[in-house]
Structure 1
């Protein structure tokens, strides 16, 4: 009887421990297409050129109307993650970002953590380990009084060109920790589209401490050429701004 009780107790402990350590999985609730084609680049540049003119011909006005209908007046550059109009970042955003490692390059700032925090599709953070970077991370710090976060949006891989995206690793699974506690796994598609996660509302900690979000690489999609894992951008949307 004692033997069976001991075995039962061991099974309960193992099951409980596994339940405590198992990661909850999250998937994008929405994806947003990112068009970084030369056509888009030329059209936005042309729109800006026409907007700067003091007087337009009827043909130019018609051309501008078509472009404004397509892109909107606040778009300044194809590479901007967020349009030039007011957004959550008008009053929100993190005050610090750090990375566990960074890929060495001839230009010291080329792959730094801040590249995943500059709201640009032209740059990316690339981890610096000799392997695919499992366990490497980005950490974002927000003042406790900052506007709260309701969405986490990820631009996965090195999206600035098809070649850069295919040649480098992309993230398949990111382990998210909040204020030092494991929250779950963000499962990312192998896509250049922005991937939006609705995970609840974060910020305004009752104990007054800053909000710390840590994104750790747990699994990757392999690149065709390099064993380096890249993240173009992790950015946020939320409330308490307007």
Structure 2
């Protein structure tokens, strides 16, 4: 184990559940077709049967395959973080910016990529929450560059993240090497007794190597919790 970041004495955590999002062309086309049928004023009997099947499969609030959180009410309706920062970010030769906000837009199509010339060990994302924001009970990480199978395989994925809470090391999050959303339940965060904002830092400790690029990507870090409904 690498002790450079002090994780030797920190507790190791593993995902409580793993969800593999289906980002296939078939799903994309079906959701688009559902939206198309919902917009029509009058449906034929055949179209109505088709819509009923799609609604049963996806639900009415789904707007896009790329949406990580559906269009209906969620924990984010009550708050969420107000800022995200990164220690570095990659700017591609094509002018594409893989900024911190890409890991905070609830979209599978975009990703944050660290900007160091190596694999990015020590680089981090930092999320800021107002003290009166709903408390967090779940942290979900969409590991790697998930927009396509090729992008996911070509770039590094995170193997270990060091989580710090309000500047204090909390533990090591151990991620699977799978194109998936990995859910961690680590307790309840937020509503600091001293009234300060909650700050969660996720620091890269170790990676799974990509097949082509030595850049480490995280599609999204998002949250669920209490104090909303």
Whether these two folds match at TM > 0.5 is yes
Q: Which residue is 1:73 aligned to?
A: 60
Higher helix share: 1
Q: Report how many aligned residue pairs link the two structures.
A: 224
Aligned to 1:10: none
Q: Name the SS of the counterpart of 1:39 in structure 2.
A: helix
Counterpart-to-counterpart distance in 2, 1:232 and 1:65: 32
* 1:33 to partner: Cα distance: 2.1
Alignment pair present for 1:22 and 2:3: no
What is the CA–CA distance in structure 2 between the aligned matches of 1:126 and 1:20, rounded to whole Å?
A: 23
* TM-superposed deviation, 1:105: 2.1
Write the mapping of 1:28-177 to structure 2, written as runs, cut at 5 A: 28-106=15-93, 110-177=97-164
What displacement does 1:109 show? Answer: 5.9
Q: Alpha-carbon deviation of 1:104?
A: 1.9
Q: Deviations over 1:52-99 (max 9, x none)?
A: 011111100000011111111000000000000000000121011000
1 CA distance for matches of 2:160 and 2:221?
14
Measure how far apart 1:146 and its partner are.
0.5
Structure 2 unmatched ranges of 5 or more: 1-5
Task: Supply the distance in 2 between the matched residues of 1:67 and 1:161 (Cα, whole angstroms).
Answer: 24
SS of equivalent residue, structure 1 residue 63: helix
Distance in 1 (alpha carbons) for counterparts of 2:94 and 2:70: 28
- Runs of at least 5 residues in structure 1 that lack an aligned partner in the other structure: 1-18
Alignment RMSD: 1.3
Q: Which runs of 4+ in 1 moved over 3 A?
A: 106-109
| 3-state SS of paired residue (1:220) | strand
Instruction: Tell me the secondary structure at the aligned position of residue 123 of structure 1.
Output: coil
